[in-house]
Amino acid sequence: MVSFRCEVHQNPYLPEDGTQVDAVVTVTVTADVDGAGPAATARPAHGEAAGTAAGDPAGAGTGRAAGGGPDAVEVILLDCSGSMSGGRKMAEAQRAAAVAVDTLRDGVGFAVICGTSGASMIYPDEGLAIVSDRTRQEAKARIGTLAAGGGTAIGAWLRAARALMLLAPDAIHHALLLTDGQNNEPPDTLAEALAACEGVFQCDARGVGADWKVDELRLIATALLGSVALLRQPADIAADFQAVIQTVMDRGVRDVRLRIWAPRGARIRFVRQVSPQIDELTGRAVAVSDLVQDYPTGAWGSETRDYHVCVDVPPAPVGGRRLAARISLLDGEQTLSTTKVEVIWTDDSVESTRINEVVAHYTGQAELARAIQDGIRARQAGDEDSAVTALGRAAQLAAAAGDELTLRRLEKVVEIVDAQTGQVRPRHSVEKLDEMDLDASSTLTVTPKTP
């Protein structure tokens, strides 16, 4: 059994004629199985903290869905293109896939796919295998025989994963994708594959080495409600795979939607997940009625996520009160938790100009991600001035948030003279891996400092 809890952070006071309402909703899921609390589950894998506590599965230990099929399906998509034969990449990818298979829970449906110019089954020969000691051994033996050769067609790999997912329609669906290069399909092919896969499964995307494109994997991870990360060394893959699979295995609630009601005449300006990473949800709204929108959030384990919701409401006279939003988490049609965003109009400017600290913090984190991405894009285009301006702003925001990891990544790309004022100088020799790491990690956020 898992329980969902919503908490809202906002300044409920609006000035006369004020219409913009900002609120951050913190959703916390706790599992009550075997005393496995939130601490038993790691947050989605950061590049750094790879070793996760192998906690008890959060309410997901049965191995069987209601319909009799597996309750979860994991498809591992391994890049086996020719470039993977360089260095230790193929050997480490094989080792990582074996670790991933070992981390899967008994009873889960799984498959390992070899991705080249198409997609072929490594294990099983077709369809899905069910995890057991025997199938783990068979899969690992098969993984050990892999050889690299061929192209990179990520869209075809994702479609193959999708076909496998559809064999167990009632399960939690996840894929883990590893690549070391750029997609060489025609531009629309990947976009079409993503459109077909959206809502069918979630996917975490990993790039190893410096020859893949951050934007490409970010596109995949964003569409499929997953994360993207850079693995500097082939030797880093295994620990990351283990962390990712452990997180997925701990997810017990399959498919959760954020439902937002806003009053007539209101407009939802944006809905954005802001922790543990930034995901824009605004464009994913599905209208339930004129006043109600649903946003997909994927599967949940024991974890905490924050959502920033910004709504424009029709103004009311001073003293007026209004419900600006009703925000719920739904599993199917079952409401897991609900919270309300209420506002009151006041002529007390002290009240109305006070900014809620949590809202301010996450507004800054979203701007930080944008500043980093803008700065890197400007740098790559040779626009040094814009790069320095954007990355300086990024340093300032990171310092204000106490975001040490981001400051450290920034420091490798620009020389930070004074973070408080955003003064930075360009560096003339920057390792490509460092720039990619900064880019790929830009959407990870930190939680607000507790006062």
Partner 1 sequence: MSAVCPEGHLSATEDWCDLCGSPIAPGPSPRAQPSRAAGPPPADGQRGPAGAVDEAGPSDGAGPADGADLPPTTRSAAPLTTPPPSAPACPVCTEPRSGSRYCEACAYDFDTGTVPGAPVPVARPSPASHAGPASRSGPPPHSPPRPHLPATADPVAAVRSADGQTVIAGAGAGAGAGVGWVAEIGPDRAFFDRNDDDVDFPDLVTRRQVALAGDRTLIGRRSPRRNVLPEIDLTLPPEDRGVSRVHAFLDHSDDGRLAVTDAGSANGTWIGSDPRPIPPGRTVPLADGDHIYVGSFTRITVRRTC
Rounded to a whole number of angstroms, the minimum distance from the CB of residue 77 to partner 1 is: 12
For partner 1, the binding residue among 136, 259, 305, 379 (CB under 8 A) is: 259
- Residue 213: alpha-carbon gap to chain centroid: 17
Structure tokens, 201: 């499964």
Rounded to a whole number of angstroms, the minimum distance from the CB of residue 447 to partner 1 is: 17
Binding residues with partner 1: total (CB under 8 A) = 95
For the chain, counts of helices (H) and of strands (E): 11, 20
Rounded to a whole number of angstroms, the minimum distance from the CB of residue 212 to partner 1 is: 21
Residue 284 carries which DSSP code?
G
* Closer to partner 1 by Cβ: residue 333 or 385: 333
Q: From residue 189 to residue 228, what is the string marking binding to partner 1 with x (rule CB under 8 A)? A: ---xx-xx-xxxx---------------------------
For partner 1, the binding residue among 260, 274, 390, 416 (CB under 8 A) is: 260
Is the C-alpha dihedral spanning 417, 421, 426, 432 positive or negative? Answer: positive
> Considering only residues 275-294, where is the footprint of partner 1 by CB under 8 A?
284-292, 294
Q: Specify which residues 115 forms β-bridges with.
A: 79, 119
Phi, psi of 428 (to 5 degrees): -95, -20
> Considering only residues 26-55, where is the footprint of partner 1 by CB under 8 A?
32
Q: Beta strands of 103-149 (E only): which ranges?
A: 109-115, 119-123, 129-130
Provide CB contacts within 8 A for 265, sequence distance 6+: 313, 314
Structure tokens, 192: 């079409």
Give the Cα separation of 58 and 34 in Å (integer).
9
Give the Cα separation of 413 and 424 in Å (integer).
10
> Considering only residues 86-145, where is the footprint of partner 1 by CB under 8 A?
111, 113-114, 116-122, 125-127
> Considering only residues 222-251, where is the footprint of partner 1 by CB under 8 A?
none
Structure tokens, 21: 């309402």
- Regarding 343 and contact with partner 1 (CB under 8 A), the answer is yes
- Binding part of the chain for partner 1, among 45-53, 232-240, 243-251, 340-348 by CB under 8 A, reads 340-348
Give the Cα separation of 326 and 356 in Å (integer).
19
Rounded to a whole number of angstroms, the minimum distance from the CB of residue 155 to partner 1 is: 8
Rounded to a whole number of angstroms, the minimum distance from the CB of residue 446 to partner 1 is: 21
* Closer to partner 1 by Cβ: residue 286 or 417: 286
* Closer to partner 1 by Cβ: residue 167 or 433: 167
For partner 1, the binding residue among 15, 63, 151, 263 (CB under 8 A) is: 263
Q: Specify which residues 206 forms β-bridges with.
A: 178, 229
- Regarding 332 and contact with partner 1 (CB under 8 A), the answer is yes
> Considering only residues 148-177, where is the footprint of partner 1 by CB under 8 A?
156, 159-160, 162-167, 169-173
For partner 1, the binding residue among 145, 334, 420, 429 (CB under 8 A) is: 334
For partner 1, the binding residue among 3, 62, 85, 184 (CB under 8 A) is: 3
Rounded to a whole number of angstroms, the minimum distance from the CB of residue 175 to partner 1 is: 13
Which one, of 78, 159, 163, 70, lies nearest residue 122 by Cα? 78
Give the Cα separation of 52 and 38 in Å (integer).
13
Rounded to a whole number of angstroms, the minimum distance from the CB of residue 35 to partner 1 is: 14
> Considering only residues 300-329, where is the footprint of partner 1 by CB under 8 A?
313, 321-324, 326-328
SS3 149: coil
Q: Following DSSP, what letter does each residue of 315-344 receive, concatenated? A: ---TT-EEEEEEEEEEETTEEEEEEEEEEE
User: Residue 409: enclosing H or E segment and its boundaries?
Assistant: helix 404-411
> Considering only residues 386-405, where is the footprint of partner 1 by CB under 8 A?
none
Rounded to a whole number of angstroms, the minimum distance from the CB of residue 385 to partner 1 is: 38
